Chain A
Amino acid sequence: MDERTLRGKTAVAGIGETTYYKHGKSPDSEFKLALMAILNACADAGIDPREIDGFSSYSNDRNEPPRLAAALGCKELRFSNMQWGGGGGGGAAAAANAAAAIATGMADCVVVYRSLAQGQFARFGRSAPVKTISGEGALSIPYGAMTPAQRYSMKAMRFIHDHGIKQEALRAIALASYQHAQKNPRAVMYGRPLDEEKYDNSRWISEPFHLYDCCQENDGAAAMILVSAERARDLRQKPAYLLGAAAGGPYRAAATAGNTPDFGSSHFKTVAPHLYAMAKVAPKDIDVVQSYENFTGGVLMSLVEHGLFEAEEANEVLTLPNLVAGSGKLPLNTSGGNLAECYMHGLELHTEAVRQLRGASCNQVKDADVALVIAGPMVTPVSTAIYGSEAALG
Chain B
Amino acid sequence: MTARPHYLPEGLPIPVAEPDGLSAPHWAGLRRNELSIQCCEKCSTWQWGPEWICHACHSFDVAWKPVRPEGRIYSWTRVWHPTHDALTNHGPYIVVVVELPHAGNVRVIGNLVGDVHQPVAIGTPVTGVFEHHNDADPAHSLLQWKVSGAAD
Chain B 50-74 interface 0/1 with A at a Cβ cutoff of 8 Å (1 = within): 0000010000000000000000001
Q: A126-B84, A263-B97 are in contact. Are A158 and B108 (CB under 8 A)?
A: no
A259 engages B15 (CB within 8 Å): no
A258 engages B13 (CB within 8 Å): no
Q: In whole Å, how far is B142's beta carbon from the nearest beta carbon of chain A?
A: 6
- Which residues in B have their C-beta under 8 angstroms from that of A157? 75-77, 122
Chain A 191-208 interface 0/1 with B at a Cβ cutoff of 8 Å (1 = within): 000000000000111111
- Which residues in B have their C-beta under 8 angstroms from that of A161? 75, 122
In the complex, whether A74 has a CB less than 8 A from a CB of chain B is no
Q: In whole Å, how far is A308's beta carbon from the nearest beta carbon of chain B?
A: 24
B74 engages A143 (CB within 8 Å): no
In the complex, whether A394 has a CB less than 8 A from a CB of chain B is no
Q: How many residues of B contact A (CB 8 A)?
A: 41
Q: A134-B23, A142-B142, A143-B8 are in contact. Are A252 and B55 (CB under 8 A)?
A: yes
- Which residues in B have their C-beta under 8 angstroms from that of A136? 49
* Contact with B13, one of A142, A158, A263 (Cβ below 8 angstroms): A142
- Which residues in A have their C-beta under 8 angstroms from that of B74? 158, 258, 263
Q: A139-B109, A145-B95 are in contact. Are A131 and B14 (CB under 8 A)?
A: yes
In the complex, whether B43 has a CB less than 8 A from a CB of chain A is no
Number of CB contacts from chain A to chain B under 8 A: 138
Q: A138-B15, A142-B15, A145-B109 are in contact. Are A204 and B80 (CB under 8 A)?
A: yes
- Which residues in A have their C-beta under 8 angstroms from that of B17? 134
- Which residues in B have their C-beta under 8 angstroms from that of A139? 15, 23, 49, 108-109
- Which residues in B have their C-beta under 8 angstroms from that of A146? 83-84
* Contact with A204, one of B49, B78, B107, B138 (Cβ below 8 angstroms): B78
In the complex, whether A129 has a CB less than 8 A from a CB of chain B is yes
Residues of A within 8 A of B (CB): 125-127, 129-147, 149-150, 153-155, 157-158, 161, 203-208, 252, 255-259, 263-264
Residues of B within 8 A of A (CB): 8, 12-19, 22-23, 27, 48-49, 55, 74-81, 83-85, 87, 92-93, 95, 97, 106-111, 122, 138, 142, 144
Q: List 9 other contacts, CB 8 Å, given A138-B13, A139-B15.
A: A134-B15, A139-B49, A143-B8, A143-B109, A145-B79, A157-B122, A205-B80, A256-B48, A258-B109
Interface pairs (18), CB distance under 8 Å: A127-B83, A134-B23, A136-B49, A139-B23, A139-B108, A140-B109, A144-B8, A146-B84, A150-B77, A150-B95, A153-B77, A154-B95, A205-B79, A206-B77, A207-B80, A208-B77, A257-B107, A259-B49
Q: Which 8 A-B pairs have the closest CB atoms?
A: A256-B49, A138-B15, A133-B13, A258-B97, A158-B75, A153-B77, A204-B80, A154-B75
